[in-house]
């Protein structure tokens, strides 16, 4: 079964707006990662946040992690049409060997 | 550095036939993953290798799927015999981590399998 659950399943916004996606998980984690997948292509790593971190930034991306609520959010600021893709959270579920488990994803559509 | 290479990109087979996928990870990466992604879903981990040893194959349907990692480098995933529900994209990924928590994983473009 999947560890992470993304919300919403689909998000449609206009260029320039911010997009927020949420991820909830069930068990303790070593870290949580976000990936992007363009249609028909492989996944691309966006950002990794460790369990002892609360917030991390990378360019227009901001990730937060609340381990007490077992949730994370990905914020994309000033979105562009090129940000249109599926976004997945992946949890490293605390095993000794770094098992990455993906959620179902959020489909983001940014209209020009 | 070169990325994760997978072949073939596309494969169409009839049910009950066999098929094999090949993956060449990034040089020096100890961990190799095979994921199955059914249309509209997130990737599901089938098997994870660290060097040439299996560390997790709990979701691999072992009656029909098999995988190996040769000399801790290239890997092949085989399905024999294939079922209609095996139609999916098979993704290979690799990461530097040799022990402990995961690090950034690099994905190949995937192999799109259609079973008819």
Residue B54: pLDDT over 80: yes
Residue A2: pLDDT over 60: no
Q: In chain A, whose CA is at the least distance from the CA of B108?
A: A42
Query: Between A2, A41, A98, which is nearest B101 by CB?
Result: A98
Mean pLDDT of B15-20: 98
Chain B residues in contact with A41 (beta carbon < 8 A) = 109-110
Closest to B107 measured CA to CA, from A73, A74, A7, A38: A38
Which pLDDT band holds residue A41 (cuts at 50, 70, 90)? confident
Q: What is the pLDDT of residue B109?
A: 96
Cα A28–chain centre separation: 17
Closest to A6 measured CA to CA, from A32, A25, A30, A19: A25
Mean pLDDT of B75-89: 98
Measured in angstroms, the CA of B72 and the nearest CA of chain A are apart by 16
Residue A1: pLDDT over 50: no
Measured in angstroms, the CA of B95 and the nearest CA of chain A are apart by 10
| Residues of B contacting chain A (CB within 8 angstroms) | 4, 31, 33, 35, 41-45, 48, 50, 55-56, 91, 93, 95, 97, 99-110
pLDDT, averaged across chain B: 94
* Residue A13: CB atoms within 10 Å: 17
C-alpha to C-alpha distance for A14 and B20, rounded to whole angstroms:
43
% of chain B beyond a pLDDT of 70: 99
Q: What is the pLDDT of residue B71?
A: 85
Annotate B70-96 with b (16+ C-beta within 10 A) or e (fewer). eeebebebebeebeeebbbbbbbbbbe
Q: What is the pLDDT of residue B1?
A: 63
Q: Do A41 and B109 touch (CB under 8 A)?
A: yes
% of chain B beyond a pLDDT of 90: 86
CA angle A13, A64, A6 (to 5 degrees): 55
C-alpha distances in Å from residue B56, one per residue of A90, A108, B44, B77 = 16, 31, 12, 14
- Which residues are within 8 A (CB) of A68 and not within 5 positions of it... i.e. 6 or more apart? none
% of chain A beyond a pLDDT of 90: 79
């Amino acid at each position: 079964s999947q560890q992470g659950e993304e919300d919403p399943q689909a998000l449609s916004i206009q260029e320039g707006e911010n997009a927020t996606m949420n991820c909830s998980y069930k068990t303790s984690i070593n870290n949580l990662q976000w990936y992007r997948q363009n249609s028909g292509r492989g996944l691309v790593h966006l950002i990794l946040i460790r369990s002892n971190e609360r917030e991390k930034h990378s360019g227009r991306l901001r990730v937060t992690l609340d381990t007490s609520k077992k949730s994370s959010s990905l914020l994309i600021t000033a979105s562009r049409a090129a940000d249109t893709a599926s976004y997945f959270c992946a949890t490293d579920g605390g095993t000794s060997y770094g098992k990455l488990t993906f959620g179902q994803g959020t489909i983001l559509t940014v209209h020009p | 550095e070169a990325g994760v290479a997978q072949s073939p990109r596309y494969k169409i087979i009839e049910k009950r036939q066999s098929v094999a996928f090949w993956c060449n990870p990034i040089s020096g990466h100890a961990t190799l993953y095979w994921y199955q992604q059914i249309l509209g879903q997130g990737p599901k981990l089938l098997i994870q290798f660290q060097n040439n040893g299996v560390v997790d194959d709990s979701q691999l349907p072992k009656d029909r799927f098999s995988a190996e990692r040769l000399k801790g480098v290239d890997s092949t995933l085989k399905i024999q015999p294939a079922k209609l529900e095996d139609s999916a994209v098979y993704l290979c990924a690799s990461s530097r981590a040799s022990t402990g928590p995961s690090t950034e994983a690099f994905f190949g473009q995937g192999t799109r399998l259609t079973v008819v």
